[in-house]
Chain A
Amino acid sequence: EDKVVQSPLSLVVHEGDTVTLNCSYEVTNFRSLLWYKQEKKAPTFLFMLTSSGIEKKSGRLSSILDKKELFSILNITATQTGDSAVYLCASNYGGSQGNLIFGKGTKLSVKP
């Protein structure tokens, strides 16, 4: 059965901390791994990774994929209260239809 598992499910940190969110996957015909940020609205796209060992960066956020060990991490440095959100990981799998399977998300709370 295809699955995506995120850990931890929730996390509370203080402003300025660095956090690492984890995503492991087991899917048939893996194609890509995607990260989304969801505040109290629709998920917004952060990163898409297809190759092992190549880091994607956007400001204080970065992500890397390990296709051998079947996981990805999302790092956020110097966290701010605006980083508080649910972070979703999804794997693109299977045939040409491009369907995604999502993890249940990590709820990050950043305290001032």
Chain B
Amino acid sequence: NAGVMQNPRHLVRRRGQEARLRCSPMKGHSHVYWYRQLPEEGLKFMVYLQKENIIDESGMPKERFSAEFPKEGPSILRIQQVVRGDSAAYFCASHHPTVQETQYFGPGTRLLVL
């Protein structure tokens, strides 16, 4: 049973470009969370999604950031017009619908904005 997959593992973008980060949850998991880890800091919650539904986006910046989890395919975290302050590690976690308390994390995508 493969774990949570994230790609790309490393992403370099210039200011103003778009960044798309993908997350494939563990098999059977229909709940996905995105977290951001700034350098030398802990993880901060961004958004919680179920298939085709955003449950909690209280941690998402109001502008430039969006997330989706379509019926088919991976969850996508999209950052438009990236700025240097977006440089961070972005982690995805998933959990089983009937085992809500335990989240399993992917390896993360490290975004560097030049």
Answer yes or no: are A and B bound together in one complex.
no
